[in-house]
Structure 1
């Protein structure tokens, strides 16, 4: 029986010709022609005032922490149900993650619990758009404005997804994209910082260029470049940018193909939900998702490890997802939980992500859902 992997990176067909072109241009370091074309695409299609490629989404979040001048003891409100980079980027500057519970429908940060978590040390709110489904940004922006704190969107999973018509990553003060090979649009490793407040554009360039005004020098704005502030080397090379540009130019097609697969899963899993075996994803009105993840939530009491083991033994590679940060050793040391994180604790133990990649056929999806059903029934009988 053939294995159905969880992920299989998609290639558009133009990646290697673009890489060859980069070689012919005799510039393989960062900020060459391909990087600039990627910047133009992100600024045009993702709505960023300024886009800056980085070597990872983690790097983009680290830049955001530097831009808003996180100091030791500053607090950053975020969900516990997220990847460790969301917290690490701020902990590196001495920041304290304040973990807030998630909503039961979208698994995004519960916007109704954010304001009560704000203190006089709060510096930023970091909403994470889980599975490419937008957080309730209007409410989050209102709270941020009221308390004069910044909003940094962790849109690692949000490329080509929208909130009330606005591209994710363009709604807050800053946004961070990921182009890791597990994402929809990829470059192997890679990311981007979206700077939506023009006040920070120049400062972001300087931080990204090792703390120098090198970009201004190449634009002819200064006669030499010098060390201006704290910074680091956040640039990817032109090979990465060339690969990424091929993907970005096909981003609409990629998203359409993934949505078709996601919609088929949603249809196939309907009967399992009707039978009370699972709950399917919920996408609120006003949110246009990008089909990054199709997950199901098992009913309470079903042993997820047995379900996953059953599926793996039958050649279907499904996965759980994040272990909540507030329950991890580092999360307890560097951060703190705001109130009881009941949804985070319970839902994180019930989620299963199904294989989703371009090329996954209908027969394979039928097999995945059928195997899931049999796995749940088997686990319930034990």
Structure 2
């Protein structure tokens, strides 16, 4: 089966793990600190504004606490969002307010968000769909006008930029995922970015029991390092040196990953452009860069599901992400979201990862063409 997502790991990651084992320190330590510093350089920010955590969903949940979002507040998010975003809003007692999206980029736009703003709106939780940047100038201007916080779910945007700035660094809080299906992988893990050092310090305490002082290797100055105090009833959601060691090696490989993913993207574009029954990804403006996390087509003839089944029967796994939150019964949200409904019924994510071989992409295109000749 040709996978839709797949990590690329090698001896470098194994060797880095061996060094961690030899150190006898597997918890949060020097390698986590190094990864935070290196990632801050990667996104052209400061190490004083970034913080690791154990997964991106934790970042979503924690953002509610860090921005003081409570019961009765409203948080706007696109209905095409990861379920973790919806759960984060609902779990803190806030009201999840869904907005529609652009039917082609699948990103929320300022015009979609503005329709949903009320006096109770406290935050906007954006998704940069597949690493494609939202139009942040318009969204940030809208947020400033209404005094609304902006949270960026840049889980798939590890190399995505908007007008020279890394996505995830533009709003109040941003986050990137390093789970097993992402581009930079370390099993599980995430990086958070904050628009102030004060917010970062608040997160640092919240993600480790609310402790005012740290124990073990993180606390090298206290004379009685076993003494502590707490500032809040935080929990434990930290990265460790095992995952950080993997992440450091993966970070070195990102340029190569991007080159290979871009080549796959361009191959699909070139080979599929003549198929009139498909819409391909839009040409992006020159002021943005994407991480090429998804390559999604939109099947215009109502045969998306049939195509997905045909490809799977031929050893090609495809999928659609993300299932609209307004269609999830557990949320109990109703409304009119025509663009999101169109996307959910017509969009298909093709295999996209840096481990794809030329024979794989050639076979995928051949099978899509075969389907078109038979059924379209």
| TM-score above 0.5 | yes
Distance 2:220 2:374 in 1: 65
Stretches of structure 1 lacking an aligned partner (at least 5 in a row): none
1:347 matched to 2:339? no
Change (3 A) 1:197 1:244: same
Give the match's secondary structure for 1:64: helix
What is the 5 A alignment of 1:251-290? Answer: 251-272=254-275, 276-285=276-285, 286-290=287-291
Match of 1:131 in 2: 130
**Are the equivalent residues in 1 in contact too, given 2:51–2:200 (CA < 8 A)?**
no
**Are the equivalent residues in 2 in contact too, given 1:48–1:196 (CA < 8 A)?**
no
Match of 2:2 in 1: 4
Give the match's secondary structure for 2:145: helix
What is the 5 A alignment of 1:92-111? Answer: 92-111=91-110
Change (3 A) 1:325 1:213: same
Distance 2:147 2:328 in 1: 30
Match of 2:299 in 1: 298
Runs of 4+ residues over 6 Å off in structure 1: none
Question: Per-residue CA shift, 1:155-204, capped at 9, x if unaligned?
Answer: 01110111111111111111011111111111122112111222312111
**Are the equivalent residues in 2 in contact too, given 1:35–1:238 (CA < 8 A)?**
yes
Match of 1:33 in 2: 30
Distance 1:135 1:28 in 2: 38
Change (3 A) 1:246 1:69: same
Match of 1:237 in 2: 240
1:318 matched to 2:318? yes
TM superposition shift of 1:64: 1.1
Which of 15, 23, 31 is the equivalent residue of 2:21? 23
TM superposition shift of 1:13: 3.2
Question: Per-residue CA shift, 1:246-291, capped at 9, x if unaligned?
Answer: 111222222122111111111111122xxx2101111431220111
Change (3 A) 1:71 1:239: same
Provide the alpha-carbon RMSD of the alignment. Answer: 1.9
TM superposition shift of 1:219: 6.9
TM superposition shift of 1:12: 4.5
Distance 2:237 2:181 in 1: 21
Change (3 A) 1:125 1:363: same
- Structure 2 length-normalised TM: 0.93
Count, aligned residues: 369
Match of 2:165 in 1: 166
Match of 1:185 in 2: 184
Give the match's secondary structure for 2:348: strand
1:119 matched to 2:114? no
TM superposition shift of 1:9: 1.4
TM superposition shift of 1:141: 0.5
Question: Per-residue CA shift, 1:47-92, capped at 9, x if unaligned?
Answer: 3442111111001111211100111121111101111011112222
Question: Per-residue CA shift, 1:133-159, capped at 9, x if unaligned?
Answer: 100111111011111111100001110
TM superposition shift of 1:320: 2.2
**Are the equivalent residues in 2 in contact too, given 1:283–1:289 (CA < 8 A)?**
no
Give the match's secondary structure for 1:114: helix
Question: Per-residue CA shift, 1:87-139, capped at 9, x if unaligned?
Answer: 11222211211110000231101221212211121111111001111001111
**Are the equivalent residues in 1 in contact too, given 2:52–2:191 (CA < 8 A)?**
yes
**Are the equivalent residues in 1 in contact too, given 2:183–2:293 (CA < 8 A)?**
yes
Distance 1:311 1:105 in 2: 23
Distance 1:42 1:97 in 2: 31
**Are the equivalent residues in 1 in contact too, given 2:109–2:139 (CA < 8 A)?**
no
TM superposition shift of 1:350: 0.6
Match of 1:64 in 2: 63
Q: Which moved more, 1:135-144 or 1:185-194?
A: 185-194
Q: Which moved more, 1:188-197 or 1:171-180?
A: 188-197
**Are the equivalent residues in 2 in contact too, given 1:75–1:96 (CA < 8 A)?**
yes
Stretches of structure 2 lacking an aligned partner (at least 5 in a row): none
**Are the equivalent residues in 1 in contact too, given 2:319–2:348 (CA < 8 A)?**
yes
